[in-house]
Structure 1
Amino acid sequence: MRTPSAPRRPAAGSTRVPQPVTARGTVGAPGRGDGRDRGQDLVIADELDDEDLDDDLDTSSDGDLDARDGDRHGPTAPSAPVRSLEPAYAARDAARRRVLLVRTGIAAGAAALLALTGWLTLLSPVLALDPAEVNVVGGSAYVDTAAVVEVAAAQEGTPLLRLDTATVRDQVAAMPGVLEASVDRDLPRGLTITVVPREPVALVAQDAATVQLVGSDGVVIATTPVEQAPVGLPTLAVDMAMTGAGTAVNDVLAVLADLPPELLGQMASAGATGPGNVRFELVDGAQVVWGSASDNALKAAVLTTLLQVGASTYDVSTPETPITS
């Protein structure tokens, strides 16, 4: 129950007359003698009036708020009809299918191109070796060009990218007249074989009619009749029965390989009495004591100078102090 509010002031123009307050604190109506307590009537009337006023204020406040809200936001617009998203979803799915098809096509095309390239380069005869397309560079009189081509021809029909060039190189380098060899593919169907020929530095008499041509590494390059032997090569004269004959031969060949051509042409024979004791005989019969196979360039220069003086023996084993006699 609400607390009774204070009596309200009468409105302007009201004809209500204030009632006198009795000694007992009640309001009495003049002229009425029923002795009834008017204070209770006033309190009840005040409560009813307050409740009605509160209801009116609540109703008025709600109305005013609704009105203000209506003024602020304006009239409520009718809702727009909702469109279906099915067409958008269908378009999206179609775009995804197109992208997938394009990617699949690109992948398939790349795979086909790769397979075709692999077949052309590794299996097809289009890039296979043709012996007629083999080119030999750097041959000499002691290198049989036809034999070199024949080595490569064993790989005929093999696609170049599968061809074992190392095998061809090793087989060519194993030839007596070849010191080094290299093999390069020459697309579409050829090879280029480059050889460094082994040059003879001495002759070894095999018998009265034939001689062997020996390279600086001791390899016999070829066997030829005496009359067809190269001019200007000394005859190797080493007693193969002596101790260290193999080392002595290597020393002689090493010295011969370092001699300039004009000096080598004056040597009639080359030999050794033992390891580290190389000796030569010149075409005029003079003897050369060379010694070890060291300082060959310096010894050759000293000997070339001494040959202008003339002597029967030239000792250049110690090139800083040569001796002639």
Structure 2
Amino acid sequence: MPVAINRRPRLVRSGTEQPVPGFQKPAVPAPEPYAAAPVAAVTVTPVPADDGTAAAVVPGAQEPAPAEQAQASATGSAKVTLLPLEDTGPQAIVVPLAQPQAQPPARAAQQPAGSGPAAAHPDPAAAPGATVLSFPTPAFKRRRLRLWTVLGSVAAAVALVVALAVYSPLLALKTITVDGNKLAGLDTILATLAPLQGKPLPQVDESTVEQLLSTLPQVRSVTVEARPPQTLLVHIVERQPVALLKDGDKFIMVDPGGVALGSTADQSAIALPLIDGGTAAIGGKNFVAITAVLAVLPPSVLGKLQHASATSPDAVELKLNDGKTVVWGNASQNELKAKALDALLNTPLPPTAPGKPVRAPVTVYDVSTPRHPVTR
């Protein structure tokens, strides 16, 4: 291999490229001016040395004198050789070649035959007579794995059952049962709920039924009860009518909010008091005061009323079927007034004592002061 040799001193070492501790580069006198340095093309041949190393020898070069021989400094595993060169002619450059480091006996004995420095990660299980130990999984990890497996299986089974229940045609709705309705007709309710027919029962919820029945003014609230496999029970809470309003040749039932709940041509067919003013009175102050009073009366009293009127919100009067008058006053303490009126109407008068004049019949019940009601 052709090699170009120059005349500048070179630091040559084997092993790693780390600086040599404690070594100082000797001072080299400046060369005299000269023309371009001669360059010889030579062939380098590795030759074994006496100390077991190898050297690269340049043919045709003279061996340096003992005083001029290479100075060596050994540091660790690297051997550094300094070659002083003269200006006269080419010199032989001796470069110690790196040798593989010998392995410790104990370490070499452990390596299987055929392995060397190139085998960086030998397989222990490939050694003759090697025994591979298998360490079992800890008990708590096995228990945890079993627990998660069981939970996953249960969750999957539940999801499957729910999916079948929600979408199965075996649970399609076929029968609707309704209770609690008095004002709203059964046929009207069933016709309103007809879109639910054939729908899987688990998909029918209370909000859906309530939304469908919201078109019926008589219905105030709804609760539903599923009865598998194909029946739905609908509980209806209706608005309560408290009075009648004259509207042409018919009478309209209204609740305390003035919502029309039905109509009749015969006033006597419905045991409710008549409010003056017709449908035009709905929403007025007097109407609100009258209906607030009628809403707290028990059915036993409400059924005995024929007429309800008010000249102002503080002057509400009721007229009974037998012609007697109830002075109510304003709409304060309505519950207490209702209890006082119920007691007066349902408590018989004591008989007249012998020799005493017969008491005049009661025509007025004044409950405007409910803790001290008065009859006249």
Match of 1:177 among 218, 227, 237: 218
Match of 2:177 among 113, 135, 139: 135
Any residues of structure 2 matched to 1:24-103 within 5 Å, and which? none
Q: Does 1:218 align with 2:262?
A: no
**Distance in 1 of aligned mates of 2:267 and 2:283:** 28
Match of 1:298 among 336, 340, 343: 336
- Counterpart of 1:293, as a letter, is A
Q: Does 1:166 align with 2:207?
A: yes
Deviations for 1:7-61, whole angstroms, at most 9, x for unmatched residues?
A: xxxxxxxxxxxxxxxxxxxxxxxxxxxxxxxxxxxxxxxxxxxxxxxxxxxxxxx
Which residue does the alignment assign to 1:196?
Answer: 237
Q: Does 1:253 align with 2:291?
A: yes
Q: 2:308 aligns to what SS in structure 1?
A: strand
| Matched-pair contact (CA < 8 Å) for 1:120–1:127 | no
**Distance in 1 of aligned mates of 2:306 and 2:236:** 30
| Matched-pair contact (CA < 8 Å) for 1:279–1:287 | yes
**Distance in 1 of aligned mates of 2:151 and 2:365:** 82
Deviations for 1:180-215, whole angstroms, at most 9, x for unmatched residues?
A: 21122222222221112333221112123x111122
Q: 2:234 aligns to what SS in structure 1?
A: strand
**Distance in 1 of aligned mates of 2:155 and 2:338:** 68
Deviations for 1:207-248, whole angstroms, at most 9, x for unmatched residues?
A: 23x111122443211112216732x32112247778x95232
Unpaired runs of 5+ residues, structure 2, are 1-127, 137-145, 350-359
Q: 2:199 aligns to what SS in structure 1?
A: coil
**Distance in 2 of aligned mates of 1:136 and 1:84:** 82
**Distance in 2 of aligned mates of 1:158 and 1:239:** 45
Which residue does the alignment assign to 2:306?
Answer: 268
Which residue does the alignment assign to 1:316?
Answer: 367
**Distance in 1 of aligned mates of 2:151 and 2:296:** 64
Quote the RMSD (CA, aligned, Å): 3.7
**Distance in 1 of aligned mates of 2:328 and 2:151:** 76
Q: 2:361 aligns to what SS in structure 1?
A: coil
- TM-score, structure 2 length as denominator? 0.50
Which residue does the alignment assign to 2:167?
Answer: 123
- Equivalenced residue count is 225
Q: 1:278 aligns to what SS in structure 2?
A: strand
| Matched-pair contact (CA < 8 Å) for 2:341–2:367 | yes
Cα distance change of structure 1 residues 85 and 254 upon mapping to structure 2, 3 Å threshold: same
**Distance in 1 of aligned mates of 2:223 and 2:272:** 29
- Counterpart of 1:121, as a letter, is A
Deviations for 1:79-130, whole angstroms, at most 9, x for unmatched residues?
A: xxx97969x99xx9xxxxxxxxx9xx999987985674354123231222x2
Cα distance change of structure 1 residues 241 and 147 upon mapping to structure 2, 3 Å threshold: closer
Which residue does the alignment assign to 2:110?
Answer: none
Q: 1:169 aligns to what SS in structure 2?
A: helix
**Distance in 1 of aligned mates of 2:167 and 2:217:** 35
- Counterpart of 1:123, as a letter, is Y
**Distance in 2 of aligned mates of 1:112 and 1:302:** 64
Cα distance change of structure 1 residues 275 and 114 upon mapping to structure 2, 3 Å threshold: same
Which residue does the alignment assign to 1:235?
Answer: 274
**Distance in 2 of aligned mates of 1:175 and 1:186:** 24
Q: 2:237 aligns to what SS in structure 1?
A: strand
Cα distance change of structure 1 residues 313 and 238 upon mapping to structure 2, 3 Å threshold: farther
Between structure 1 and structure 2, the one with the greater Rg is 1
Match of 1:151 among 165, 169, 192: 192
| Matched-pair contact (CA < 8 Å) for 1:267–1:282 | yes
Q: 1:200 aligns to what SS in structure 2?
A: coil
- Give the structure with the higher percent strand: 2
- Give the structure with the higher percent helix: 1
Cα distance change of structure 1 residues 171 and 273 upon mapping to structure 2, 3 Å threshold: farther
**Distance in 2 of aligned mates of 1:144 and 1:190:** 20
**Distance in 2 of aligned mates of 1:84 and 1:306:** 109
**Distance in 1 of aligned mates of 2:289 and 2:267:** 27
| Matched-pair contact (CA < 8 Å) for 1:136–1:194 | yes
Q: 1:273 aligns to what SS in structure 2?
A: strand
